[in-house]
Amino acid sequence: MIEVKKKYYKDNPEAVKRRDASRVFINGKEISKKDPIHKMFKGGRYKTIGDAVFETSGLGSVKEGYVYIITNAAWPDWVKIGMAVDAEDRLNSYQTSSPMRDYKLEYSVKSDDRRKAEKEAHKGAMKKCDVSHGEWFKMSVSEAVELLDNLNG
């Protein structure tokens, strides 16, 4: 009698790649293939549905944009260093979630590769400040402006 050995995913790395390529995760939660949302996106991991829409629309592949500094009077001495295709539009999205509409776009620089420039800015900010939380850094606006003015990206 011939013994047939079942192939499991762990025995077949190519099958694992194919399976994982079609899986959709939003905010760390896998979206069932039966869910209509799953059908909207190719496989991938996204923080929010908005990120998923943005990335799969083709806009996520746009490299050009801005690296910006945003502040909020509620958190003095803190700056947010981020990137966006349009810095003013990003500011407006922050204002939407703030009842006081107190976010302020302090400064922005245009970049041919906004992701690379933002990464460089974050590395520089980490060297200059002692405290950070995600994209927020405890530093002066003038220190952050100096960082952005010296970006290579």
pLDDT band at 98 (very low <50, low <70, confident <90, very high): confident
User: Contact, 135 vs 122, CB < 8 A?
Assistant: yes
Write down the pTM of the prediction.
0.63
Cross-strand bridge partners of residue 131: none
**All residues at 6 or more sequence positions from 62 whose CB lies less than 8 Å from its CB, including other chains:** 85
The residue among 28 and 4 whose pLDDT is bigger is 28
Tell which residue, 130, 139, 72, has the closest CA to residue 106.
72
Reported as a pLDDT band with limits 50, 70 and 90, residue 144 is very high
pLDDT score, position 78:
97
Calculate the average pLDDT of the chain: 85
Residue 34 binned pLDDT confidence (cut-offs 50, 70, 90): confident
Higher-scoring residue by pLDDT: 130, 146? 146
CA-to-CA separations, 57 to 52, 88, 89, 140, in angstroms, rounded: 8, 21, 18, 36
Q: Judge whether residue 88 has pLDDT over 70.
A: yes
Between 57 and 23, residue with greater pLDDT: 23
* pLDDT, greater one: 147 or 50: 147
**Average pLDDT, stretch 24-47?**
80
Confidence band of 9 (pLDDT split at 50, 70, 90): low
d(CA 56, CA 74): 35
Task: List the helix and strand counts (H, then E) for the chain.
Answer: 6, 8
The answer to which of 11-15, 81-85, 106-110, 138-142 has the lowest mean pLDDT is: 11-15
Res 21: pLDDT: 80
Q: Length of the chain, please?
A: 153
